[in-house]
Amino acid sequence: MDIELQKVSYSYAKGTPFEKAALFGVDLMIESGKYHAIIGHTGSGKSTVLQHLNALLKPSEGIVKIGDEMIEAGKKNKKLRQVRQHIGIVFQFPEHQLFEETVLKDIAFGPMNFGVSEEEAYARAHEVIKTVGLDDSILQKSPFDLSGGQMRRVAIAGVLAMKPDVIVLDEPTAGLDPRGRHNIMELFSKLQKDHNLTMILVTHSMEDAARYADDLTIMHDGKSVLRGMPREIFKDVDKLAQYRLKVPHVVAFQMRLEQRLGSKLAKLCLTEEDLVDEIARAAKKVREES
């Protein structure tokens, strides 16, 4: 399912003395089946964009296209409920959304709210709990008796039970330690590849964007200012600095290394693994030539 924003502007409390403009003519294209990251500093507008991706907010100006549906400023759309059924959002600290007495009921709540039978919703719960790496014996427990990591996985399972075509991740690793962060991001990456999902990561983490995204959009002061592949975006340190952003740590390390060596590696590396491999190849080439 493609999602496109065309010249979208948005103001909070529009028409009141408290009106505040948040987006200015934003153009954004997210292709079906791709892993797209939206990054920017605090206040850049990325969270407001996120809320347009499943019509939680409707544009003050412009058009949002979600699949075949068009959401236009000033016009009503009677199919918003149907649109939202196909787009799951994993908010920051999703475990705070848990509320039912058992994990089973919590996961089944969303599908049942959209008309799925109890039998089918429970069957989905048994399926997705394994998808997120938990045993289905946990389904009979209270979600509030679980560890923080388990609660987050249960909340993610609740989103997956909706069988969305698009998953939007709003800072999904907030509050996690490095190991937990890695495990959750690897889970989303596997889901995206295995099910050909459209995955949208809204984050301030350059590292996560570099490692996982196919395409990036940079937001700055309510505008979409850059779009491209991670390797293209992160090679321009000066351009990113204009938008108060830094390159990922591994890219910064590579650039410092190249400066000391007085020569460049064959490619810009976006992960530690890639950098290690590239340094090994460069060292081997030097040995062969000497």
Smallest CA-to-CA distance from 229 within 34, 94, 33, 41 is with: 34
| Residue 279 in this model has a pLDDT that exceeds 90 | yes
Distance CA 129, CA 107 (A): 9
Residue 274 in any domain: the answer is yes
Overall number of domains in the chain: 1
| Residue 54 in this model has a pLDDT that exceeds 90 | no
Residue 273 in any domain: the answer is yes
Residue 243 in any domain: the answer is no
Per-residue pLDDT band for 74 (boundaries 50, 70, 90) equals confident
Residue 103 in any domain: the answer is no
Least confident of 8-22, 168-182, 232-246: 168-182
Digit-coded pLDDT (tens) for 210-229: 999 999 999 999 999 999 99
Considering the chain, what is the average pLDDT of its residues? 92
The contacts of residue 119 (CB under 8 Å, 6+ apart) are none
What does R_g of the chain's alpha carbons equal in angstroms? 21
| Residue 152 in this model has a pLDDT that exceeds 90 | no
Rounded to 5°, the CA angle 79-39-14 comes to 50
Digit-coded pLDDT (tens) for 160-186: 999 999 999 998 888 888 888 898 899
Three-state DSSP class for residue 120: helix
pTM of this prediction exceeds 0.85: yes
Per-residue pLDDT band for 254 (boundaries 50, 70, 90) equals very high
> Do residues 216 and 34 make contact, with C-beta atoms less than 8 angstroms apart?
no
| Residue 290 in this model has a pLDDT that exceeds 80 | no
**pLDDT of amino acid 217:** 97
Distance CA 54, CA 290 (A): 59
**pLDDT of amino acid 94:** 73
**pLDDT of amino acid 246:** 94
Distance CA 11, CA 22 (A): 6
**pLDDT of amino acid 176:** 82
Smallest CA-to-CA distance from 1 within 30, 35, 38, 41 is with: 30
Domain hosting residue 284, numbered range: 248-289
Least confident of 67-71, 75-79, 200-204: 75-79
Distance CA 278, CA 195 (A): 31
Digit-coded pLDDT (tens) for 114-146: 899 999 999 999 999 999 999 999 999 999 998
Distance CA 97, CA 180 (A): 19
**pLDDT of amino acid 286:** 81
Q: Is 6 exposed, middle or buried (0-12, 13-18, 19+ CB in 10 A)?
A: middle
Q: Is 117 exposed, middle or buried (0-12, 13-18, 19+ CB in 10 A)?
A: exposed
Residue 43 in any domain: the answer is no
Q: What are phi and psi of 95, to 5 degrees?
A: -65, -20
The contacts of residue 129 (CB under 8 Å, 6+ apart) are 103, 107, 135, 136, 138, 139, 154, 157
Residue 271 in any domain: the answer is yes
Q: What percent of the chain has pLDDT above 70?
A: 100
Residue 223 in any domain: the answer is no
Helix ranges (H only) for 132-213 are 148-160, 178-195, 206-212
Residue 207 in any domain: the answer is no
Distance CA 60, CA 279 (A): 50
| Residue 83 in this model has a pLDDT that exceeds 90 | no
